Structure 1
Amino acid sequence: MDKESLLIYLVSDSIGETAEQVAKAAVSQFIFENYEIRRYPFINEKQQITEMIQEAKQQRSIIIFTMVVPELKIFLEEETKKYNIPCIDIMSPIIEGFSNILHSTPKREPGLIRKLDEKYFKKVEAIEFAVKYDDGKDPRGLKKADIVLIGISRTSKTPLSMYLAHKNIKVANVPLVPEVALPQELFDVPSKKIIGLTTNPMKLIEIRQERLKALGLKSEANYASIERILEELEYADAIMKKLGCPVIDVSTKAVEESASIILEIFREIGYKVINGK
């Protein structure tokens, strides 16, 4: 690299994306193209900084950094001062500004924004999973799920799937209908990953009648008859016993309460479901 060129060192105790974006935005304000960017991410030792400084001092360089660990930040500033290398701290002025306004001490932990992004995308992935494998649409999803919910119609399978998805848990659900054969994939899922949902027949009559009204249908339809509901509940009970899975009565429970019970069941048996583990 010739003497008119500029080496831009981006130093971070995380990925270094922030430093890169700021550096590119700044250099674009000048009629200057003879530069090279060198990224040094995940710096967690003084020795790494020392090695980088030894390289930077040989040429015309500038160091832009986003270090949040105080010890490493101070060491970097001291080393660049020794060799008269321009050094720009991006994060500190912003962190100090927020600290003053919020009257709070920063965590000083590298990579927090990345962790937040990862958590967000896992949640989106879990929600998409719940939609894709809702109501037994695709039995191939049963083996991929963290939890499989089974139950007859109107036992809160879909609301529970979505609620758990917002906790980064991938949930598939399968409706139990006497006339419809169950997918073989369900019997390949470990029983400890399956939760059966049941309810009080009288409560279910009310729910199904309201559902029929919402659809503009007569409430006397077989779907909401006591005979049909008892038949479905008996069938579902037999399936759940065959699978050997835990069963939750959702008739008097809010979705949040049922979800809490599901998570407690998994904690008790030591089976991790959060984040797909």
Structure 2
Amino acid sequence: MDEIRLIIASDSVGETAELVTKACTSQFNQFGKALDTVRLPYIETHENVDEVISIAKEQQSIVIYTLVKPAIRKYMKEQLEENQLKHVDIMGPLMTILTEELNEQPLNEPGMVHKLDEDYFKKIEAIEFAVKYDDGRDPRGLTKADIVLIGVSRTSKTPLSQYLAHKRYKVMNVPLVPEVDPPELLFNIDPAKCIALKIDPEKLNAIRKERLVQLGLNDDASYAQDQRIHEELAYFEKVVSRIDCPVIDVSNKAIEETANEIIKIVTSRRSSKS
């Protein structure tokens, strides 16, 4: 045979089977023989399997398949054996072993790898978004964000943004400082996606003093003085009342606890609007 024909049959797009096939064929010099590979995706019915068998018989092809639905996989195997066609079931044997070892039935849903990939890329996109729009750098992020965090300095806005990004939420945070007006767009976006982070003045004072010490600065700087803190918190209340958004007290909460509360609020408010 001057040409070896391979059919890659899958109930999804067939990338998994093609990658395995390429990994195997790359180990051979082929000695002048050509490899003709055809991918046949979305094999989901008996009729689809019959088409694969017909093509394989006509071309005397080797069939490499990844089928997760047991009934279709069983029918494929039966037809291949009946027609004495060479074949490789890439997923079936391992699925059987895992079912026994895990004592759990598989989902049997085609395309799960690509769903996982999509989920991964959404997470990366959310993380990049949080970095890009951290600390109110670009007001244009307000319309694109899933969640907008508002608060004075040292209310965990940045770590919360990153934590929520790992949950695939695009988060922008906006610092509130009396001397700087927040972007006007903040008052025009949907308040349902805004969350204000409140903190106890004494707790904030302790956090800021500790931060100054970490930076090698004097802890009696105006940044950590009671008068300044009360001034900032009063400004915070003014802005929040204008936006009319939910407020979470983060004084004694862990990042995870606050994040879960944010997700619940945002989810419930969206549901009530739909």
Per the normalisation by structure 2, the TM-score is: 0.91
How far residue 105 of structure 1 moved from its aligned partner, in angstroms, is 4.1
Match of 1:214 in 2: 214
2:181 corresponds to: 181
What are the Cα deviations for residues 78-134 of structure 1, in whole angstroms up to 9, with x where unaligned? Answer: 222333221211122333344455454433332222222222222122111111111
Number of aligned residue pairs: give it: 270
In the TM superposition, what whole-angstrom CA distance separates every residue of 1:220-257 from its partner, at most 9, and x where no partner exists? 11111111111111111111111111111111211111
Structure 1 gap ranges (5+)? 273-277
Instruction: Give me the CA root mean square deviation.
Output: 1.9
Match of 2:192 in 1: 192
User: 2:187 touches 2:243 (CA, 8 Å); kept in 1?
Assistant: yes
Partner amino acid for 1:166?
H
Residue of structure 1 in register with 2:54 after alignment? 54
SS at match of 1:139: coil
Alignment-derived partner of residue 237 in structure 2: 237
Stretch deviating more after TM superposition (119-128 or 140-149): 119-128
Contact 2:176 2:236 in 1 (8 A): yes
2:77 maps to what in 1? 77
Percent identity reads 49
Do 2:2 and 2:33's aligned partners in 1 also have CA atoms closer than 8 Å?
Answer: no
Q: Choose 56-65 or 98-107, whichever is displaced more.
A: 98-107
| Closer, same or farther: CA 271–193 of 1 in aligned 2, 3 Å | farther
Answering whether residue 127 of structure 2 is matched by residue 119 of structure 1, we say no
Segments of structure 2 that go 5 or more residues without pairing to the other structure are none
Normalised by the length of structure 1, the TM-score is 0.90
Aligned to 1:27: 25
Whole-angstrom distance in 2 between the partners of 1:184 and 1:31? 70
Whole-Å separation in 2 of the counterparts to 1:26 and 1:32: 17
For residues 162-191 of structure 1, what are the alpha-carbon distances to aligned partners after superposition, in whole Å with 9 as ceiling and x for unaligned? 111111111000100111121233223211
Cα distance in 2 between the residues matched to 1:36 and 1:187: 61
**Cα separation, partners in 2 of 1:165 and 1:271, compared to 1, 3 Å:** farther
Amino acid at match of 1:80: L
Deviation at 1:142, TM superposition (A): 1.4
Any idea what SS the aligned residue of 1:185 has? Answer: helix
